[in-house]
Amino acid sequence: MRNFAIIGTGAVGGFYGARLQHSGREVHFLLHSDYDHVRRHGLKITSPEGDFHLRKVNAYKSADAMPPCDVVCLTLKTTANHLLPEILPPVTAPNGVVLVMQNGLGIEKDVAAVVGPERVMSALCFLCAMKTGPGEIHHLDYGAIRLADYSPYGTPMGVTQRMREISEDFRQAGIRVELVDDFLLARWQKLVWNIPFNALCTILNVATDKLMADEEATALVESIMQEVVALAEADGRIISEDFVREMIYDTRKMIPYSPSMKVDHEKRRPMEIDAIYGRPLQVAEQKNVSVPAIEMLYRLIAFIGRMDAVEADSRKQQIITDDP
């Protein structure tokens, strides 16, 4: 039976890892600030699909202490990806795979540089969840994964044997998994949602419902989505009009949701600006595609990020000063 590592036990890692353990899998969790709490009290999940409490989990403060795992779920924030060369080698079994469950574009390539391209898979998470306290995750809605195999040349890999096997593990944990041929198409499709909503909700300080209740804001969202579609097309991936319409429709009926970027901004934590905006804009530059709306969002959100960093620093200074 395959064992699992969860690299980064936030809302995403905590939710999927807890579900896997709850279904009987062996799971090893890498933690940072919540380590002490989780080692003592385990993980608590509240969810419309049923609450549960794992009183004992395998918690680690360092990847070096973890056993080699067959499936390494990469659920760190991308802003910590500079740590991957330290973290991934010890925890990834020789025939193991790293599932890139992070947001954004081009992360697979970075992971491939560390563990080799044959040990990389993409797993796009469609999950509304939030960490409500140390070791406490509140699952709000959704939770499906789109699983794909990775190729360094962007070639669609079809449905492979290991995709089927790993998806079976998730399915037994009550997670809906869709197997997709083409990881790059899946990445662009996810960006169709992430690019407009992350920046707009953060800049305008609203959850998704306020944008969807406003006709002109919805039109703005749609026009940004169209730029993502154009960019994907330049990258060789066709996204249909229907897909855009469905995204709008799904968001409209979704519960009011604050994207992770907004939550990060509120807590003055680093935002995933490079993964969600910076890298797509690099593609725009390479392919010579004009995406003025995305560029403006990037420039606004990057400024907000720099201001957040200054504020977070001064808060930290404050804490050090206040320390008796």
Active-site annotation holds for 190 = yes
Q: Which helix (H) or strand (E) holds 247?
A: helix 241-253
**Closest distance between a copy of itself and the C-beta of residue 295, in Å?**
8
- The correct pick among 93, 114, 144, 220 for binding a copy of itself (CB under 8 A) is 220
- The correct pick among 283, 302, 309, 312 for binding a copy of itself (CB under 8 A) is 302
Residue among 190, 262, 267, 316 flagged as catalytic: 190
Tell me how many residues contact a copy of itself (CB under 8 A): 20
Q: Which range touches a copy of itself (CB under 8 A), out of 37-45, 99-107, 145-153, 214-222? A: 214-222
Q: Tell me if 245 contacts a copy of itself by CB under 8 A.
A: no
Contact 7, 74 (CB under 8 A): yes
How far is C-alpha 31 from the chain's CA centre? Answer: 16
Q: Tell me if 93 contacts a copy of itself by CB under 8 A.
A: no
Q: Based on C-alpha coordinates, what's the Rg of the chain?
A: 19
The 3-class SS string of 177-228 reads EEECCCHHHHHHHHHHHHHHHHHHHHHHCCCHHHHHCCHHHHHHHHHHHHHH
**Closest distance between a copy of itself and the C-beta of residue 81, in Å?**
22
CB atoms within 10 A of CB 33: 9
- The correct pick among 157, 304, 309, 312 for binding a copy of itself (CB under 8 A) is 304
Q: Tell me if 307 contacts a copy of itself by CB under 8 A.
A: yes
Give the C-alpha separation, 219 to 225, whole Å. Answer: 10
Q: Tell me if 293 contacts a copy of itself by CB under 8 A.
A: yes
The token pair at 316 is 């930290």
Residue closer to a copy of itself (CB basis): 245 or 306: 306
- The correct pick among 141, 210, 256, 312 for binding a copy of itself (CB under 8 A) is 210
Give the C-alpha separation, 125 to 30, whole Å. Answer: 19
Q: Tell me if 53 contacts a copy of itself by CB under 8 A.
A: no
The token pair at 225 is 């989505």
Q: Tell me if 300 contacts a copy of itself by CB under 8 A.
A: yes
Residue closer to a copy of itself (CB basis): 217 or 234: 217
Residue closer to a copy of itself (CB basis): 234 or 304: 304
Give the C-alpha separation, 75 to 93, whole Å. Answer: 18
What residues numbered 176-205 form the site for a copy of itself, per CB under 8 A? 203-204
Judging by beta carbons within 10 Å of its beta carbon (0-12, 13-18, 19+), is residue 57 exposed, middle or buried? buried
Residue closer to a copy of itself (CB basis): 7 or 206: 206
Tokens 């669609």 belong to residue: 156
Q: Tell me if 324 contacts a copy of itself by CB under 8 A.
A: no
Which residues are within 8 A (CB) of 246 and not within 5 positions of it... i.e. 6 or more apart?
A: none
Which residues are within 8 A (CB) of 231 and not within 5 positions of it... i.e. 6 or more apart?
A: 188, 280, 283, 284, 287, 289, 291, 294
Q: Tell me if 296 contacts a copy of itself by CB under 8 A.
A: yes
**Closest distance between a copy of itself and the C-beta of residue 205, in Å?**
9
Residue closer to a copy of itself (CB basis): 172 or 290: 290
Which residues are catalytically annotated? 190
Residue numbers of the site for a copy of itself (CB under 8 A)? 203-204, 206, 210-211, 214, 216-217, 220, 292-293, 296-297, 299-300, 302-304, 306-307
